[in-house]
Amino acid sequence: MPKKFKDIINDIDKKVEFLGNVVVKNLNLSVEGYCSSKEELCNLVISKNDEIIKNLESLEMYAVKALCLYRPVSKDLRKLLTIIKLCSMLEKIEECAVKISLVLLNSKFNFDRNDKYIRKMSSLTNDIILLTISSYINEDIDKINEIYIIHKNIEKIFYEEFQRYLARKIFEDVFNVAIVNELTNVGKYLERCENSANDFRKEIYFLVTGKKMT
């Protein structure tokens, strides 16, 4: 492929890395806003959403235009297709960031939301997203197992520790059901984010090897 195509790919990769960090920061801000019950932080998350989505869609279109203009084959083709899918993944994560903020803004309850399980899942979700982006940028399939390990850790927290904790809250007081539902929703959104990042392992593997991950 002509050098200009490689320049375009390098430019796109820089934008992907930048926007990936922007999305992660907005997700972290959303969780912080929720856990600290600070509506101003959640409103800030929502105010950033339109620009973030617009930039991701613009980057996606940049990749589509390169696809049409250069008609790449083999690994160059896989690269552009992976970029388009990565933009889609980041859009889903950004959507979850907004939904977490809306949980607080739409809540009618006043309670201590500084939940250790939400914080723990948020930290690991941050790690898995950044590791996934880094693995794509560096085309490092050796990191795929690390991504999967973080995924399994989050699953263990969400489906075992977190669920037992929520069950105890209801057992302690049946009126905690509404609170439990709220916490469950936030946990679900974080789990969706990490699932998206974990699923992207397959795209990284295909990009580097040209084979489907079994």
Intra-chain end-to-end CA distance of the chain, in Å: 30
SS3 95: helix
**Tens place of pLDDT per residue across the chain (214 aa):** 455 888 999 999 999 999 999 999 999 999 999 999 999 999 999 999 999 999 999 999 999 999 998 888 889 999 999 999 999 999 999 999 999 999 999 999 999 999 999 999 999 999 999 999 999 999 999 999 999 999 999 999 999 999 999 999 999 988 899 999 999 999 999 999 999 999 999 999 999 999 998 7
Measured in whole angstroms, the distance separating CA 89 from the mean position of its chain's CA atoms is 7
* Residue 210 backbone zone (phi > 0: left; psi -120 to 50: alpha; other: beta): left
Task: With CA atoms as reference, report the closest residue to 62 among 14, 12, 108.
Answer: 12
CB 96 within 8 A of CB 27: yes
pLDDT at 3: 57
Maximum separation of any 2 CA atoms in the chain, in Å = 67
Residues 6+ apart with CB under 8 A from 148: 198, 201
What domains are defined for the chain?
A: 3-209 (1.20.58.220)
Check residue 6 and give its pLDDT. 87
Buried b (16+ CB within 10 A) or exposed e, 147-163: beebbebbeebbeeebe
| pTM of the full structure | 0.94
Is residue 141 a contact partner of residue 209, using CB atoms and an 8 Å limit?
yes
